[in-house]
C-alpha cells in the first residue's frame, strides 16, 4: 500500500464525544499517529453511546475511535498534566474540545504550550468559539445547528423544525477543524510557526448555509422549511411509484426537463409557458410536481430507473444501511470496508474519504480498548521506564 499522506504527523487528541474526535478520526484515516488521551477507568463516552449494545459494546466506538492509540491519563492531576505536556512536546498537533478556558485553567492553553514549541498547531473545537460573549456556554450540536440556521429550514413547513438523524453540527465542526489543521501545517512550512484553529459548531454550520444571509440582506426574504423540496428548484423531489417505493428525480435544467417530458409522453410541457424555463417551473413547482407524481405513480420503479438513467436524468432510491451494503457501486469503490474487531469479528463501516490517487487513506484498525497503548506510548514517546509507568498506575494517574 502507498504511504499515507500524513505519515509522520503526530496528533494528541484531548477531546470526547464527536466534534473533536471526528477531526482526529479524519487525520488518523490519512496516516497521522493519533494519540487519544482518555480518563482512566471511564474513557470517552462514545465507548458507551448508542441505541444498541451488541455484546455489551457500543457500535459507535469502532468508527469514531478508529486508527487511534488510546492512552489513559488523568488530566485533573498535576502528574497527568505534566505527562500530557511531555507528549505534546513531541507532537505536531493538539485537538481538543473542552469548554473554552478549561485548558487555560490547567496551565495548558496555547500560549503556555507553544512557548517552548512554537511549531505546535492546536485545533480547538467548541460550540461558540474561543472568543465572544457566548464562548463559555455549553455548546452541543443541537444548539449550533439552530444558531447556524440549519434547524429553522429543516422539516415540513407546518411542523416544528426537525433535525437530521445525525449530529451533523458536530461532524461539520470536526471536518472544519481538520481542514484548518491542514491549512495551519501548510503555513507552518513557510513560517515555522504553528497557530490556533478555532472551529465553532455554529460557524461550521453557518458556512454551509449557501446564500441564506445574503438573500435576506439584499431582499428581506427569510428562507423557511420546505419539506422535501428547495423552493423554486423544480422538478427536484421525491415521487411515488407503483411499486410502493419512492424515487428521487432531479431535472431542473431546461435540457433535462425536456428529456423528462419526452419520457412522460408529454413533450408539449417543455414548451408550456408555465414550465419552459427555470423561473417558470419554480413559480409553478407544486402543480408540476403533481403532474410528475401522477406519472411515476403508474410506473414500476425497476423499469422507471433505467429509463431515467438512460436519459441522463439524476435519479435514485432513498438508501438505508441494507441498500448501501447491497449496492454494486458501493462494493466496486469499496465505499464500505470490513475491519477486524477483537470482539465483534469483522465489522463494516464507511471507508476513508476523500480518495487520494497516490496516497489514499485507510481504516487500519477499529477503536482501541481503553488504555490499550498507554505503556507503549509513554515508553516510546515520553521516554518513561516501566518502573515509572507502574508507579503512575499505582497512583491512579493512568
Residues marked active site are found at: 170
Q: Which cell numbers in the block locate residue 386?
A: 516501566
- For residue 63, which of 355, 336, 378 has the smallest C-alpha distance? 336
Query: What's the DSSP call for residue 336?
Result: E
Half-sphere exposure in the Cβ direction for 30 (13 Å, CA): 19
Q: How far apart are CA 259 and CA 271, in angstroms?
A: 12
Please name the residue ranges forming H helices in the chain.
Answer: 19-29, 61-64, 78-88, 102-105, 110-114, 141-147, 168-191, 201-206, 212-219, 254-263, 278-283, 285-296, 301-310, 321-326, 328-333, 374-380, 386-394
Angle at 275 between CA 271 and CA 277, to 5 degrees: 85
Quick check: 95 and 196 in contact, CB under 8 A? Answer: no
DSSP strand pairing (93-96 vs 121-126): parallel
Amino acid at each position: 500500500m502507498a504511504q499515507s499522506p500524513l505519515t509522520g504527523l503526530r496528533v494528541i487528541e484531548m477531546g470526547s464525544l464527536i466534534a473533536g474526535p471526528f477531526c482526529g478520526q479524519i487525520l488518523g484515516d490519512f496516516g497521522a499517529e493519533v494519540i487519544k488521551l482518555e480518563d482512566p477507568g471511564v474513557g470517552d463516552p462514545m465507548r458507551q453511546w448508542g441505541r444498541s449494545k451488541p455484546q455489551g459494546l457500543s457500535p459507535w466506538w469502532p468508527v469514531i475511535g478508529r486508527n487511534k492509540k488510546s492512552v489513559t491519563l488523568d488530566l485533573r492531576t498535576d502528574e497527568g498534566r505534566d505527562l500530557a505536556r511531555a507528549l505534546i512536546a513531541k507532537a505536531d498537533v493538539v485537538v481538543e474540545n473542552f469548554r473554552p478556558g478549561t485548558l487555560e485553567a490547567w496551565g495548558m492553553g496555547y500560549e503556555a504550550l507553544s512557548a517552548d514549541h512554537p511549531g505546535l498547531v492546536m485545533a480547538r473545537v467548541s460550540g461558540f468559539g474561543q472568543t465572544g460573549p457566548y464562548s463559555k456556554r455549553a455548546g452541543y450540536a443541537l444548539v449550533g445547528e439552530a444558531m447556524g440556521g440549519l434547524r429553522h429550514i429543516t422539516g415540513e413547513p407546518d411542523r416544528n423544525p426537525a433535525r437530521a438523524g445525525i449530529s451533523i453540527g458536530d461532524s461539520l465542526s470536526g471536518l472544519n477543524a481538520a481542514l484548518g489543521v491542514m491549512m495551519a501545517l501548510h503555513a507552518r512550512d513557510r513560517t515555522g510557526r504553528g497557530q490556533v484553529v478555532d472551529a465553532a459548531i455554529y460557524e461550521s454550520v453557518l458556512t454551509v448555509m449557501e446564500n441564506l444571509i445574503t438573500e435576506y440582506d439584499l431582499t428581506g426574504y427569510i428562507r423557511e422549511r420546505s419539506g422535501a423540496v428547495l423552493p423554486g428548484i423544480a422538478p427536484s423531489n421525491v415521487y411515488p411509484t407503483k411499486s410502493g417505493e419512492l424515487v428521487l428525480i432531479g431535472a431542473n435544467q431546461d435540457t433535462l426537463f425536456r428529456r423528462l417530458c419526452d419520457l412522460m409522453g408529454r413533450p408539449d410541457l417543455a414548451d408550456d409557458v408555465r414550465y419552459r424555463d427555470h423561473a417558470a417551473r419554480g413559480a409553478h413547482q407544486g402543480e408540476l410536481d403533481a403532474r410528475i407524481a401522477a406519472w411515476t405513480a403508474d410506473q414500476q420503479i425497476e423499469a422507471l430507473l433505467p429509463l431515467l438513467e438512460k436519459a441522463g436524468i439524476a435519479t435514485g432510491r432513498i438508501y438505508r444501511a441494507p441498500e448501501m451494503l447491497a449496492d454494486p457501486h458501493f462494493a466496486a469503490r469499496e465505499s464500505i470496508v470490513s475491519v477486524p474487531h477483537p470482539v465483534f469479528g469483522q465489522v463494516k463501516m464507511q471507508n476513508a474519504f476523500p480518495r487520494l490517487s497516490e496516497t489514499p487513506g485507510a481504516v487500519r484498525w477499529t477503536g482501541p480498548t481503553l488504555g490499550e497503548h498507554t505503556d507503549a506510548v509513554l515508553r516510546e514517546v515520553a521516554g518513561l521506564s516501566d518502573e515509572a509507568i507502574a508507579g503512575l498506575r499505582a497512583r491512579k494517574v493512568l
